[in-house]
A = this chain, B = another copy of it.
């Protein structure tokens, strides 16, 4: 197997910088749109293991990526808790029964992944079989706080006012939700590992909306709680874990020190500063601005080189975007990006070796 990603996530030397892209299976690919059309809806796609497997593998047919990432939704866990996930056309995810009172929170139970999230585990197993050892499979979950955002608000939000009202007016209730989510996410990720996920990643998409004095208590503390319960290996092989807080740059030092094997960086974060904090002990993943992919391929290559130069040639870098690929991104840009990361990162490693 191509184990470049696994080695980089553990800060071991690699011949080149491994690359995968958040939302590498998605709407910018015509073949994805065709499969989705066939599925009837995004949720049907995510809930049908054969189709989830098909779209997970699509980007690997086009680009020599170093990892596959499970195709799924970040809100599968609260859906399994009975909140009723749905998508209304042109809008983001919504819940039919958002958490609005103590009774709803008290009745919240940690789902049994083998039962309520079996379709995800089936997809993991089917993807592993289809990958046949080409590249590792990354499993993932939304973070306890990010799940809580949608569970309380009932939908996406510009300001998460309902969540933040609960944080002030009923902090114990919010902590109880986060506690339940942490247990549910831990069980969910461990079940993915058991089913075959070789890396797991926590997406803390909305942690960056918290105030300076709330991020630690309401997001990072529960990320650490998940980490403490996570399986660190399976069948003797290490299963590296990654945490990514979008907008987390103000708390970078705390995130890097939180104990995860690797930290995802958005495109505002300076890789040189992150490298200094990580001190060769924590791997870093990122961090090209997804909007850079709207330029001509030659300029995409230049943008990739800027990011690679900023991270440098030392071990412990996984190339990625600073957030997911945006719909409308030209697939040719992605091809140029992946090729340039491969070629140029080999070159800077060779140069570094020659100098030393």
Contacts and interface: CB of A to CB of B under 8 A. Distances in A.
Interface of A: 159-162, 164-165, 168-169, 208, 210-213, 215, 247, 249-250, 267-271, 287-292, 294-296, 299, 302-303, 306, 310, 322, 326, 328
Given A211-B268, A269-B250, A169 B295 contact: yes
A210 B168 contact: no
B294 A161 contact: yes
Contacts of A287: 212
B268 A212 contact: yes
A109 to B, nearest CB: 29
Nearest to A326: B159
Contact of A168 (B165, B290, B295): B295
How many copies make up the complex?
Answer: 2
B169 A267 contact: no
Contacts of A168: 292, 295-296, 299, 302-303
Nearest to A268: B250
Nearest to A207: B268
A145 to B, nearest CB: 14
A249 B271 CA distance: 15
A340 B250 CA distance: 27
A161 B291 contact: yes
A247 B168 CA distance: 23
B291 A212 contact: no
B267 A212 contact: yes
